[in-house]
Amino acid sequence: MRRAVEPQFGWEGVRAVMAATFFGEVVRAPCRAGTEDEEEEEEEGRRETPEDGEVRQQLARKREVRLLRRQTKTTLDVSLLEKYPCSKFIIAIGNNAVAFLSSFIMNSGVWEEVGCAKLWNEWCRTVDTTHLSPTEAFCVFYHLKSNPSVVLCQCSCYVAEDQQYQWLEKVFGSCPRKNMQVTILTCRHVTDYKTSESTSSLHTPFLKALKTQNFREPPCCSLLEQPNIVHDLPAAVLSYCQVWKISAILYLCYTDVMKLDLITVEAFKPVLSSRSLKSLVKNIPQSTEILKKLMTTNEIQSNIYT
Amino acid sequence: MASQYDRAITVFSPDGHLLQVEYAQEAVKKGSTVVGIRGADIVVLGVEKKSVAKLQDERIVRKICALDDHVCMAFAGLTADARVVINRARVECQSHKLTVEDPVTVEYITRFIATLKQKYTQSNGRRPFGISALIVGFDNDGIPRLYQTDPSGTYHAWKANAIGRSAKTVREFLEKNYTEDAIANDSEAIKLAIRALLEVVQSGGKNIELAIIGRKQPLKV
């Protein structure tokens, strides 16, 4: 048996060796058996060149999640909740959830911006990653001036899987407080909802809840049934809260309109009766007016569907 | 998994669905609401007018179109697909009149449109039309008709129906309120159509457009 030194036909890890067949012929056959010598050669081929390392570092820098204060343009050196400890943390992910918080919660008092998270991934529309302008802050954090222990987050960008952990670290920190209550609001398309009922009997939009073990209150809607799962950043936050034994609840709205839509936003209304949000709601008719105005300004005049 | 069977129109999924056709029905739900009511002597089509951009010429955005003097249709779904279907239906109406020397019956033109839609669910390389249509009119015998077609190419006659966004809500309203008394006279039928639309139209009365065909009367919009 002769050991081949070079990879044959571009197969890595597969070496051609001479083998004897049943009939006595000697043929070259691919063989995955490797010896120590061959492993060393493999490593040489796979060792990273300096260029690879640099490219990887550049990519990591590009995809870094940066948390900063917009007014002072300084980066936060500790995690957001370490700097601004809170007892109530409300996160809205997605444009409908963000519109709901803007109209129903943020008009009830004076909210001060405490930070924003800037990040870049393939989903972002901007090309320039180093000089993201102030108007492109994607995740903005506010706290109520009259009660700074209430913190709100409006996240309207997509946070990719590799960035979710960084986002959690920068926002919650590595050792978060346990005595806070987290409420997450987000939307999902109803085609993702798996049920044994007929889909024509579903009245979209509808709300489902998923909570951590430490959340003791009754939720404002029915719980999400199996085998449905939650995806992306809401799932990351909820898992983080479950691991750190923080009381958290996610309200997921299944809708058939993924862009900004009045009926979808209004489907979140039952959440206003929950303990964490009840005290923050002041003026519902005014909120509805604000919401309507938000809809008309945001309506893209698309003529595809009539 | 559904995703393996939804790329080609000519492929059934293992549980018997033509997924592209079902997705086309989702496209219909993105159009604004249309309601159709068949009265005793009148047929009414009501549509929710979409708000147009400030600089856009409003006259061009039409949801209700006449196919012939006595037949009219309203659609919900992809505007471009509707334009193609309407053009072909109009040509067919005239061609029928030339060949047979009789105007089309509502059922004939509905069947033509439905056959056209069905052809596109069986061809390779083409996608189904993403529109549902409500076709109304009077035949020569003076009987009012209302038909509905959908992207799969089926058509049915209805006493009252709704298509487009929130169609289910409007249909439930119609089921509760469509009685023989409600349609006994023309103005009652028109009022029923308006009330059905107001259930779902967000901005109130100024965004509703109505088309009425009376027996032996031309289309009024």
Instruction: Give the chain A residue whose CA is nearest to the CA of B60.
Output: A303
**Which residue, among B162, B165, B151, B159, has the nearest Cα to B121 in the 3D structure?**
B151
Q: What six digits make up the tokens of B32?
A: 């604004």
> Residue B1: is its pLDDT beyond 50?
no
pLDDT at residue A133, as a whole number? 45
* Chain A interface with B: residues with Cβ < 8 Å: 203, 256-257, 262, 296, 299, 301, 303-306
A255 or A177, greater pLDDT: A255
Q: What six digits make up the tokens of B144?
A: 């009012």
pLDDT at residue A13, as a whole number? 45
pLDDT at residue A181, as a whole number? 92
Q: Which residues of B45-76 are buried (b: 16+ CB within 10 A; e: fewer)?
A: bbbbbbbeeeeeeeeeebbbbbbbebbbbbbb
d(CA B82, CA B27): 12
The DSSP call for residue B42 is: E
pLDDT at residue B54, as a whole number? 75
Contacts of B50 in chain A (CB under 8 A): 306
* A245-261 mean pLDDT: 88
Cβ(A152)–Cβ(A93) below 8 Å = no
Task: Please indicate, yes or no, if residue B221 is contained in any of the structural domains.
Answer: no
A251 or A157, greater pLDDT: A251
Place of tokens 């002041």: A282
- What's the one-letter identity of residue B47? V
Please name the member of B53, B56, B79 whose beta carbon is closest to the beta carbon of A305. B79
Taking an 8 Å cut-off on Cβ atoms, the answer to whether B61 and A299 are in contact is no
How would residue A20 be classed by pLDDT, with cut points 50, 70 and 90? Answer: low
What does the domain layout of chain A look like in residue ranges?
54-302
Helix A232-243 vs helix A161-172: crossing angle, to nearest 10: 50
pLDDT tens-digit series, residues A262-281: 888 889 999 988 888 888 88
pLDDT at residue A40, as a whole number? 53
Cβ(A160)–Cβ(A59) below 8 Å = no
Taking an 8 Å cut-off on Cβ atoms, the answer to whether B78 and A299 are in contact is no
Min distance B52 CA to chain A CA atoms (Å): 7
Most confident residue range from A24-28, A81-85, A181-185, B26-30: A181-185
pLDDT at residue A302, as a whole number? 62
> Residue A26: is its pLDDT beyond 60?
yes
pLDDT at residue B93, as a whole number? 94
Please name the member of A203, A256, A301 whose beta carbon is closest to the beta carbon of B29. A256
How would residue A31 be classed by pLDDT, with cut points 50, 70 and 90? Answer: low
Determine how many CB atoms are found less than 10 A away from the CB of residue A143: 21
Please name the member of B30, B52, B202 whose beta carbon is closest to the beta carbon of A305. B30
**Which residue, among A302, A271, A303, A217, has the nearest Cα to A96 in the 3D structure?**
A271
pLDDT at residue A195, as a whole number? 87
Q: What six digits make up the tokens of B182?
A: 């409600």
* Sign, Cα dihedral of A162, A164, A168, A170: positive
pLDDT tens-digit series, residues B92-116: 999 999 999 999 999 999 999 999 9
**Three-class DSSP category at A205:** coil
pLDDT at residue A293, as a whole number? 73
Cβ(A162)–Cβ(A150) below 8 Å = no
**Which residue, among A185, A190, A187, has the nearest Cα to A271 in the 3D structure?**
A185
Cβ(A12)–Cβ(A30) below 8 Å = no
pLDDT tens-digit series, residues B130-183: 999 999 999 888 889 999 999 999 999 999 999 998 888 899 899 998 988 777
Stretch among A201-215, B23-37, B205-219 having the lowest mean pLDDT: B205-219
Cβ(B5)–Cβ(B109) below 8 Å = no
Query: Which of 184-213 (B) contact A at CB < 8 A?
Result: 202
**Three-class DSSP category at A243:** helix
> Residue A132: is its pLDDT beyond 60?
no
> Residue A71: is its pLDDT beyond 80?
no
**Which residue, among A158, A220, A149, A216, has the nearest Cα to A187 in the 3D structure?**
A158
* A164-193 mean pLDDT: 88
Cβ(B95)–Cβ(B46) below 8 Å = no
d(CA B201, CA A279): 32
How would residue A74 be classed by pLDDT, with cut points 50, 70 and 90? Answer: confident
Percent of chain A residues past pLDDT 90, beyond the cut: 21
The CATH architecture assigned to A54-302 reads 3-Layer(aba) Sandwich (3.40)
Cβ(B43)–Cβ(B26) below 8 Å = no
A149: left (phi over 0), alpha (psi -120 to 50) or beta: alpha
> Residue A45: is its pLDDT beyond 70?
no
- Total count of domains within chain B: 1
How would residue B81 be classed by pLDDT, with cut points 50, 70 and 90? Answer: very high
Contacts of B61 in chain A (CB under 8 A): 303, 306
> Residue A231: is its pLDDT beyond 50?
yes
Min distance A199 CA to chain B CA atoms (Å): 12
Taking an 8 Å cut-off on Cβ atoms, the answer to whether A303 and B79 are in contact is yes
The pTM for the full model equals 0.57
d(CA B141, CA A205): 45
pLDDT at residue A107, as a whole number? 82
pLDDT tens-digit series, residues B22-77: 888 888 988 888 999 998 888 999 998 877 777 877 766 688 999 998 999 999 99
**CATH value at residue B184:** 3.60.20.10
Contacts of A262 in chain B (CB under 8 A): 202
* A144-151 mean pLDDT: 89
Please name the member of A203, A299, A305 whose beta carbon is closest to the beta carbon of B31. A305
Picking from B17, B28, B50, B59 by the largest number of A CB atoms within 10 A of its own CB, the best residue to mutate is B50
Please name the member of A257, A296, A306 whose beta carbon is closest to the beta carbon of B50. A306
Taking an 8 Å cut-off on Cβ atoms, the answer to whether A306 and B31 are in contact is yes
Instruction: Give the chain B residue whose CA is nearest to the CA of A295.
Output: B202
Most confident residue range from A37-46, A116-125, A151-160: A151-160
Instruction: Give the chain A residue whose CA is nearest to the CA of B82.
Output: A306
**Which residue, among B40, B77, B61, has the nearest Cα to B151 in the 3D structure?**
B77
> Residue A149: is its pLDDT beyond 50?
yes
Give the residue numbers spanning the domain of B117.
Answer: 19-214
d(CA A256, CA A193): 11
Alpha carbon distances (Å) from A70 to A116, A136, A150: 7, 11, 20
d(CA A301, CA A194): 33
How big is the CA angle at B182 (ends B176 and B184), to the nearest 5 degrees? 150
* A273-290 mean pLDDT: 80
* A9-32 mean pLDDT: 61
Size of interface A-B (CB pairs under 8 A): 32
How would residue A129 be classed by pLDDT, with cut points 50, 70 and 90? Answer: very low
Q: Which residues contact B151 (CB under 8 A, 6 or more apart)?
A: B21, B24, B25, B27, B28, B77, B117, B121, B128, B129, B130, B131, B132
pLDDT at residue B37, as a whole number? 93
Q: Is the peptide bond before A148 cis (omega within 30 degrees of 0)?
A: no
pLDDT at residue B185, as a whole number? 84
pLDDT at residue A122, as a whole number? 77
Task: Please indicate, yes or no, if residue B28 is contained in any of the structural domains.
Answer: yes
**Cα A100 to the chain's mean position, in Å?**
18
* A160-177 mean pLDDT: 87
* A119-140 mean pLDDT: 62
Query: Which of 137-156 (B) contact A at CB < 8 A?
Result: none
> Residue A134: is its pLDDT beyond 60?
no
Q: What six digits make up the tokens of B2?
A: 């559904």
* B68-94 mean pLDDT: 93
> Residue A156: is its pLDDT beyond 90?
no
Task: Please indicate, yes or no, if residue B219 is contained in any of the structural domains.
Answer: no
Size of chain A in residues: 306
pLDDT at residue A209, as a whole number? 94
Please name the member of B53, B56, B61 whose beta carbon is closest to the beta carbon of A306. B61
Alpha carbon distances (Å) from B53 to A297, B139, B168: 11, 38, 28
Cα atoms in the 13 Å half-sphere on the side-chain side of B190: 14
